[in-house]
Chains A and B, each alone.
Chain A
């Protein structure tokens, strides 16, 4: 019958990509992958944040040799593809006696690169704080440390919330690269599940999970920005 012939390919698309049975079967595996992805992402985001802040301060205020080294670090780690760095850390470092777990290697690669990007974001944020703020802080006699912690950084951090958040979202997405070094993250588990079920539904599920996790983050930035703007500056 004509209706059956037309309905058939539609059915098969659902069977292939949005297969409920496969989805239910593989969901636990995907969720364990999600846990790994989130752990890795959050670790790299936190380390990258701290590292970036330190690098930015060194780049702005350290004396000459240390500043040059910082600049070189930032330039190198912004230029190197994370995938290449990851492969080097995981497969090459053992030859010089440094053997990292797949989590350790992935966390290092992501943090090292994220720190370099964050450093440039923080630098821009610090430089965007008006000169008068530095001067007022000096005029009341604050130490250089207090000038930063009490006056400059609180304002700079507010300025960099949007770019730091998009950097964090990038880090979260880059965690998928860790599947290359056999890290059981969300993508790795999805491809595994796909192979086991001989069906690409887990990949589609993984894509949806990435979106579900990251889209609220993107929204959150907007809310945060609006609230800060309302408080006035």
Chain B
């Protein structure tokens, strides 16, 4: 439980002239639940998108489960990293069941029958057993996001990345998705969650990371972040998001 499964050393990412990450160092231990908070544009999403190489970092090192990723490497280790997207990004031309079963068949080499079995189990786990044969467009946002979680879980990843999983949801659906994520947190899978849900961060996180301006400004257990923030930027951020 103590080996770092993700290690980022001095990671730099720029988009043209804009520097999104200014040399970030972050270690995540196996089984740890890290919640990343911070104002929009602070580099939170870029950071986790660098971990699974949806963005290739320009400098520094990212080591996932002992293997360095990026810069033309083969990145096979990244099949151990699952991601849940803000906009779900379900495949609209496939049934929910296919969405979940596709990865295990194509990447893990399971038969369709075995993968669909696994998909059904996972859909049941996120409370969608009866929606398997529907298409994503027939589901609510909250249901779609739970399918997104099942799809990521189907690959049995060691690390799960959540990129603002509730930001695109209607308020009444946020709870059902957070409940599922909270359930997952108990299973021992390593999770990195970018979110604006402070209540969730306080309840679920082992560690909260506060980012601002492409840097990690402060990181501590949630108690300390929320009750005794040190950096003035974190204090004003918390004031802004918690004041209403």
Contact = CB atoms under 8 A, between A and B. Distances in A.
Contacts of B87: 132
A104 interface: no
Contact of B135 (A130, A155, A232): A232
Interface in B132-167: 135, 137-138, 151-152, 154-155
B78 to A, nearest CB: 7
Question: Which of B90, B92, B152 neighbours the largest number of chain A CB atoms within 10 Å of its CB?
Answer: B92
A140 B115 CA distance: 14
A140 B155 CA distance: 7
B135 A231 contact: yes
A173 interface: no
Contacts of B93: 154-155, 158, 233
A137 B106 CA distance: 11
Given A132-B85, A151-B91, A154-B93, A140 B151 contact: yes
A231 B94 CA distance: 11
A136 to B, nearest CB: 4
Nearest to B76: A141
Interface residues of B, number: 26
A133 B91 contact: yes
B89 A141 contact: no
A135 B85 CA distance: 9
B89 A136 contact: yes
In this complex, the interface size class of chain A, counting residues with CB under 8 Å from chain B, is 20 to 34
A146 interface: yes
B82 A140 contact: yes
A160 to B, nearest CB: 14
Contacts of B113: none
B182 to A, nearest CB: 22
A128 to B, nearest CB: 13
Given A133-B89, A135-B89, A232-B135, A141 B107 contact: yes
Contacts of B82: 139-140
A129 to B, nearest CB: 10
Contacts of B81: 139
Nearest to A155: B93
Given A141-B78, A141-B79, A141-B155, A136 B90 contact: yes
A75 interface: no
Contacts of B106: 141-143, 146, 150
A138 interface: yes
B83 A139 contact: yes
Contact of A140 (B102, B137, B138): B102
Question: Which of A136, A146, A231 neighbours the largest number of chain B CB atoms within 10 Å of its CB?
Answer: A136
B94 to A, nearest CB: 8
Given A139-B54, A140-B82, A142-B106, A232 B137 contact: yes
Contact of B107 (A140, A231, A233): A140
Interface of A: 130, 132-133, 135-143, 146, 150-151, 154-155, 158, 231-233
Interface of B: 52-54, 78-79, 81-83, 85, 87, 89-93, 102-103, 106-107, 135, 137-138, 151-152, 154-155
26 contacts: A133-B89, A135-B83, A136-B83, A136-B85, A136-B91, A139-B52, A139-B54, A139-B83, A140-B102, A140-B107, A140-B152, A141-B155, A142-B102, A142-B103, A142-B107, A143-B106, A150-B106, A151-B91, A154-B93, A155-B93, A158-B93, A232-B135, A232-B137, A232-B138, A233-B92, A233-B137
